[in-house]
Structure 1
Amino acid sequence: MTNPAQSPSRDRVAEAPVIEVTGAGIRFRRNRGGRRSFKDLLSGSSRRSRPDDFWPLRNVSFSVGRGEAIGVVGRNGQGKSTLLKLVAEVVLPDEGTVAVRGGVAPLIEITGAFVDDLTVRDNVFLTAGLHGMPKKEIAARFDEIIEFAEIGGFVDTPYKHLSSGMKARLAFSVISRLEEPILLVDEVLAVGDRGFREKCYARIDELLTGGRTLFFVSHSEKDLRRFCTRGLYLDKGKLVLDAPIDEVLARYARDTGT
């Protein structure tokens, strides 16, 4: 099978990056009870840092061109999902800047936007609408969304009564129909049975062939090689390697002994 990540249309990079991250860092507090003085708030970032501060990401810089497919590699707890949330602008950096030029379709924590007591139908309209899809377009694509998710008999069922697999299928189906130019994927392909995963693979291939930009987090070397041409290797919140995906995976294997 031809890897869409290697097609000529995917290799073209726009003059201006669609994602530009410069010196970005995000800080969490281990001790929420700690207090800061006015002097702390008005001082530089180095003085504001406290012993109980934790930086899941710090001093991270890279750019992504239109149509690139980027795989984010690293062990658990090394900042991969936090980086996707920064790019999705779900969280804001405490240091540095994150510039995203274009809309984002976020396949991260994909079931989080759904409301338990609403029906499947109402959730499709709500979630797609929150992501900017016009109501008329949602109506036109509704049957397609339900058919892809394989939940045709549950359209008027409250969302809370769906199985976890059905919820994941519905969420993927909705978000992957958005027309945003940047696709963020965080381990979503780990859900569902083999048949549905193959449908997800085919849908992502279709989006990439159409020129979408992909930012992809996965522990699956097979998936990373399938979709991505370039990798970002994160370790202890630092970007230690930005290189072709094969080189990044080889470095990761050496470092972890896998």
Structure 2
Amino acid sequence: MTYKLTGSPILKGEKNVTIVTIEKEEPGRYSYERVELPGNRTNDNEEVLIQAVLDFIRTELDPTNAIVQAQAKLQETQAKLEQTEQKLAETEQKATQTEAKQNDLEALANRINKVVRVMAQDSIMGDKVSYGTTYKEMVELFPLAEVGKVYEPGAIFAVEDPSHVEINGEGKRILIQTNQSFTYQGETFAQLEGTPYQNGVLATWKFGAPKAPDEPTTVAPAAAVSTTATVTPTVSEPSATTVTPNQ
């Protein structure tokens, strides 16, 4: 049994269907089937259209077949839905793991910042830094001041002081610690040492030249005093007796 396409498919835009007519050649007679296929099928080739028409006719004649096809499509849709849900669950799991790693990194960064802060407070603010290069490396661990940023009490940051004359390779950055809430407006170090410093809003921690060790105190030895007294004995001379001669 042979089928062929009769004419070209006709698109009915208002219904969004394509009218397709096929012809069946049988010995001694011809028969035609004309159906409306959903959608625009004008670009399909002849074999595809003929098969689509035959499938449509079988569905119309055999409701059971239509149910089977619908069930198959439903199962296919459910399988795709399950795959989508599985991928979504995997994505959520990866997102959770990524978030956990980020939290771990943030916690580690906070611990490192605390260690750096303690080192700075103990060393720089405790005047225990003997070398300018050490001061420079420690100050570089803190961020430079940001214009417009509000620094809460206890915040530590650095500012550049181009006019600073290095004495031991300590660099041009100066460490600042806030005692009160402070909004940095791009002040120079000299300006920060003005009203903010004088009003106790912040403290500045510059590198100080290493102090020379105290020289030992020299105590002059006391003059030796003899504890042995020299006593000169007193010699009593015999008293002279005057004898008057007899007259």
- Could you tell me the TM-score, scaled by structure 2's length? 0.21
Answer with 1 or 2: which has the greater Rg: 2
Higher strand share: 1
Q: Which structure ranks higher in relative contact order (CA pairs < 8 Å, sequence separation ≥ 6)?
A: 1
- Could you tell me the TM-score, scaled by structure 1's length? 0.20
